[in-house]
Amino acid sequence: MLAKTGGRYRVLSSGVTLEATLRGRLKRGQEQVLVGDRVTLRSHTDAAVTIEAVEERKSVLRRRTPGRRHGVRLVAANLDQVAVVGAARQPDWAPQLMDRFIAVAAANDLPVAVVINKCDLLEDPAALGRAYERAGYEVLYTSVPAGAGLGELRDLLAGRSSLFTGPTGVGKSSLLNALQPGLRLRTGVVSRRSHSGRHTTVAAEMYPFAHGGFVVDTPGLRDIGLWGLERAEVEAAFREFRAYVGYCKFDDCRHLHEPGCAVRAATERGEIVASRLDSYRRMLQEAHTAARPWYAGRDR
Ligand code: GDP
Ligand code: ZN
């Protein structure tokens, strides 16, 4: 299933895009049909198509709505990976934002690739990627005008189902258009606001990728920094810490101000990148308080 608008579902069937509705039984049930779901279709004599069943999912991207403890929304199904895109400049490289996107992927048990775009605007973009390479992530360096790294990006996306995400303006649409003219992310449609000032979610949308696989965009959820994470998820997201946590003096060390912290010591030795520890601390603090995150009111 590619996209849902109201009660209508856009579905890809043998290379053809169809519009379908839910079969009554499915409609009344608890189960939702998600973008990325594999479904069983049935054609009716009046040319109507209905979704009869949803196949078992191999992954689900979940979003925890902040503020409400158990508010969990299912965003997309069957993703293989998350490509987090950032810009070397314009907008300036924002490690804290990148780390948030990465943490959301990690919390959903999805592999992450980091894409550093606009490499034409910075002399040494590898300096930005090093922290992520060291943490074991695949890092791609791209430039749309210079045509750099586009082959690698195509290979990364080909044959897989990928969430393509990152802050606005970093060049996500430009990259995808360079690989597949006409494949458009809905740039600019960041999110609508209702009169109450709350976001009305614009759901995920999936596009077939010309080189095989699918690319998923979540325009209404671009502000992925607002996705709530729990403490355990934050801890798990910083995987380069794992080699050290066993050496912290206290078993329950949070790597904040505790004495004998091996993670902090590793950061001081330059083995862990300082911006990553900084991101971790901010995210951990939010996971504890979760009332008013540091970024509230920013970039709006
Ligand atoms: P999105 O919001 O992430 O989809 O970003 P866009 O694709 O709309 O790109 C935002 C701006 O950055 C546009 O003006 C693009 O022309 C520009 N841009 C995209 N990629 C690059 C790049 O690799 N280098 C430079 N210098 N500009 C780029
Ligand atoms: Zn520690």
Checking if the pLDDT of 59 tops 80, the result is yes
Q: What percent of the chain has pLDDT over 70?
A: 84
Question: Tokens for 270?
Answer: 């330059």
CA–chain centroid gap for 58, Å, is: 17
pLDDT level of residue 85 (50, 70, 90 thresholds): very high
Question: Tokens for 221?
Answer: 């959820």
* Closest Cα to atom 18 of ligand 1: 171
Question: How far apart, in Å, are the Cα atoms of 74 and each of 60, 63, 140, 223, 236?
Answer: 7, 6, 28, 16, 21
Task: Please report the pLDDT score of residue 226 as a whole number.
Answer: 59
**Mean pLDDT value of segment 123-129:** 95
Cα(136) to ligand 2 centroid in Å equals 20
pLDDT tens digits, 182-195: 776 654 444 444 44
**Mean pLDDT value of segment 199-204:** 58
CA distance 57 to 298: 36
Q: Please, what is the end-to-end C-alpha distance for the chain in angstroms?
A: 32
**Whole-number average pLDDT of the chain:** 86
Q: Give the ligand 1 atom nearest the CA of 144.
A: 23
SS3 59: coil
| Distant-in-sequence contacts of 124-133, Cβ < 8 A, 24+ apart | 125/88, 128/86, 128/88, 128/93, 128/95, 130/273, 131/95, 131/273, 131/275, 131/276, 132/98, 132/102
Cα(84) to ligand 2 centroid in Å equals 27
> Does ligand 1 lie within 6 Å of residue 121's CB atom?
yes
> Does ligand 1 lie within 6 Å of residue 177's CB atom?
no
Which ligand approaches the C-alpha of residue 219 most closely? 1
If one residue of 89, 115, 123, 174 were mutated to test the ligand 1 pocket, choosing by the most ligand atoms within 8 A of its CB, it would be 174
SS3 30: coil
Rounded-to-10 torsion of CA 226, 231, 232, 235: 90
Question: Tokens for 273?
Answer: 């990148």
What pTM, to 2 d.p., does this model score? 0.87
Q: Among 7-21, 118-132, 147-161, 185-199, whose mean pLDDT is lowest?
A: 185-199
In terms of Cβ atoms closer than 10 Å to its own Cβ (0-12, 13-18, 19+), residue 99 is buried
